[in-house]
Structure 1
């Protein structure tokens, strides 16, 4: 594709699952990836694997719910590389199998702080960075099918936070377009990751039956490929898009 040769890509939630696969795909396309999450050891392991394969990667701890962490991630990346070309915002947490009445103020606040506020703040700071350096960059967020279907396999706190990400994405895209910055999001259905590995097997079997494409859960590379596309020049006139990747489990 060559759209990403020598580009600087920041991936939050990059230590495992979709984040790790996304970092690998950007590296395969010639980018340098700054891999971040709140679990530094996972980031280091991911970066070590990429370096072993001849790719360029660095790591930084970052809890997206903490403004100081995000500020440091942006500042450190700018200082080392001069700019941020692409910001892939994949960090998030999920609550599963929680009854509607079981959602507590504490669980609501925790999920919303990481998923919704974390996306808002990283988008704000990534856009500010791109404006500051004159970079016509790209931001790709990750929402969920649950933003449209509501709670079920996941808690209402999670589905509400992912619906907020849809709104943040559209609002950010509208604002950033005047600076030549594009903002999009991918909305996955259930994906085979460590996050979904702990879900109840009976619930998972029911979910699989709702996927018309006739597969089990999606794979991390199904989502990383969508992120790669939205960040590429092939999508140069696309901004504010929420790209569903769910095997036709939800279509609109």
Structure 2
């Protein structure tokens, strides 16, 4: 955290990267030129994260989605999406811990990370709950279309308020339809973090999000909206995460649902 705070302070005084030069020279996607896209084939491994699946679909990670080292995941996420080195280390290291593996020496398949209530969770905006549909590697087109349709920004772009509203609706729907529904405080914040990435990395762009969420493909010419020199730090990320989470008003049968997860008692 001290390292992350230091990077945040540096970002506050350092100039932003030019809009077309977020990806470092010599890395896939430099200048917006992404490696050729190919959707997954039979036997390829995919997960519940569209951003990671896109890396495999463009062969930034192995196209099979198998035998990926946690250290390679760190490097790919950092160069492609411009996460800070602290952030892009923390998440793969956390995944390795969930799987009982070593960040430094072990490998994984993309589908491995979808152990339920690890980083995968109920009430996702792009996936049906595990109880209802086991394969988290497959996006839910109805959920994604509903997400994209809720944008109220210019051109239908998503805002933080839009994400809070759709997440409240999604949590209520999941609670109603999934008899094994669970969403701890940690996973609520994790789901809000996933939603915040739609704003920080993609600027809430309707056009770009339609491509990344429905096709799991990086748009031609796209580069991350996060332009700070050291990338998006965990410290700088928290305000938008909390803005989304605290704006959620979960409703069940038209009535607000308490944050503690219990239905309000009738008087």
TM-score by length of 1: 0.25
TM-score by length of 2: 0.24
Please state which structure has a larger fraction of its residues in helix.
Answer: 1
Give the structure, 1 or 2, with the largest relative contact order (CA under 8 Å, sep 6 or more): 2
Larger Rg: 2
